[in-house]
Amino acid sequence: MYDTEGTVILDVGKTLLKVDPSLAQWQNAGHLYIKARSWIDTNTLRVAWYGPTDGPVTCFTFEYALSVTGSATRLSSRITNPTEREFCNENPE
């Protein structure tokens, strides 16, 4: 997150790891994406931490409400295996 002057005020990935250390198991397990989804209010951003692991493939998606002050609350989590019809959701909505 940046302020209006372009200065980094919050490193989202590092902040989520600090708030939820259980995410560390997914950090280097394969492909990791962090996506800002939308503003919940003027100080809280909805963020997705997601990706697939390397083989055997496991899909993971964790969503958080992340405050500009650095606090976060997990909103949801999903850990699944890909199927023949659907691989891991590369861009969770």
Q: What confidence tens digit (pLDDT) does each residue in 19-63 have?
A: 999 999 999 988 999 999 999 999 999 999 999 999 889 999 999
Specify the pTM: 0.87
Please state, as a whole number, how many other Cβ atoms lie within 10 Å of the Cβ of residue 55: 7
**Mean pLDDT for all residues in the chain:** 90
Q: What is the spatial distance between Cα 35 and Cα 48, in angstroms, rounded to a whole number?
A: 5
φ and ψ of 24, to 5 deg: -55, -35
